[in-house]
Amino acid sequence: MNATTRTAIVTGASGGIGRAVAGRLVRDGFAVVLNYAGNAASADKAVAELRAAGGQALALKANVADVGEVGQLFKATVEKFGGVDVVVHCAGILPMRTIVEDQDLSLFDQVITINLRGSYAVMAESARRMTRGGRIIAFSSSEVAKSFPRYGAYSASKAAVESLVHTLANELRGREITVNAVAPGPVATDLFLNGKSQAQIDELTKLAPLERLARPEDIVGTVSFLAGPDGAWVNSQVLRPNGGFVY
């Protein structure tokens, strides 16, 4: 390790936006730990590609909703790279149907456990482990401002994440650690597209004035900005790279 190399943990990094974020941060010069929950093959493939391109990368498994496993993720990162400078929490789930009237509390609990409890656990451990001047970046969603039917549990979980961002930013006063959220609109990932008909996809494509779905590469620049030197004065904010989907 070069003494000037900074280290980032990216949760949910075996695919989708998390994978793209990990690649961008490696290109930005970070040593990156790619966290994954179950898809070891995909995470290992991503690490191999990043290393082949000259980057420093490591895949580590952890369930973000398990406080013990999150602690081990950070402990292993510190042991390997010497510290944690940036944490990007991308891990989450997007269920197709959570109609409030259906009162499907089992699905609601699953969404809240992964999306909200997971965010709480990762953000808490970040605050405990992070070096001075670090960056904590959570992922929310521009859907919070749209309130689509059938997204009740998801919207509730992401709105709570945004509230956590503001609270933690205030709790870290004086430590020069920023806490922000990135809240994309619809992004063409497997997580978003799974279970949707072509008609639904076409309808969602037209919602933003730019009239297309985002690609993961459209989102990573915002993360790079927040993690880099130009983002040092941005704190307790929710940035919405969404092509005008909502404002």
Q: Residue 231 belongs to a domain with what CATH number?
A: 3.40.50.720
pLDDT at 157: 96
Q: What is residue 2's predicted lDDT score, i.e. its pLDDT? A: 53
Is the CB of residue 102 less than 8 Å from the CB of residue 72? no
Residue 200 lies in a domain: no
Q: Is residue 244 part of a domain?
A: no
pLDDT given for residue 172 in this prediction: 98
Strand order in the sheet with 31-36: 56-61, 31-36, 7-11, 86-89, 135-139, 178-182, 238-239
- Weakly modelled stretches of the chain, pLDDT under 50: 1
- pTM for this predicted structure: 0.94
Q: Is residue 65 part of a domain?
A: yes
Domain region containing 39: 7-185+216-239
In a domain, 209, yes or no: no
Please name the residues in contact with 241: beta carbons below 8 A apart, sequence gap of 6 or more: 182, 184, 185, 214, 218, 219, 221, 222
Query: What pLDDT sits at residue 246?
Result: 84
Tell me if 208 is assigned to some domain.
Answer: no
Assess if residue 134 is contained within a domain. Answer: yes
pLDDT at position 74: 98
Number of domains in the chain: 1
Whether residue 247 is contained in a domain is answered as: no
Residue 154 annotated among the catalytic residues of the structure: yes
Q: 128 lies in a domain?
A: yes
Q: Which of 36, 120, 151, 154 is catalytic?
A: 154
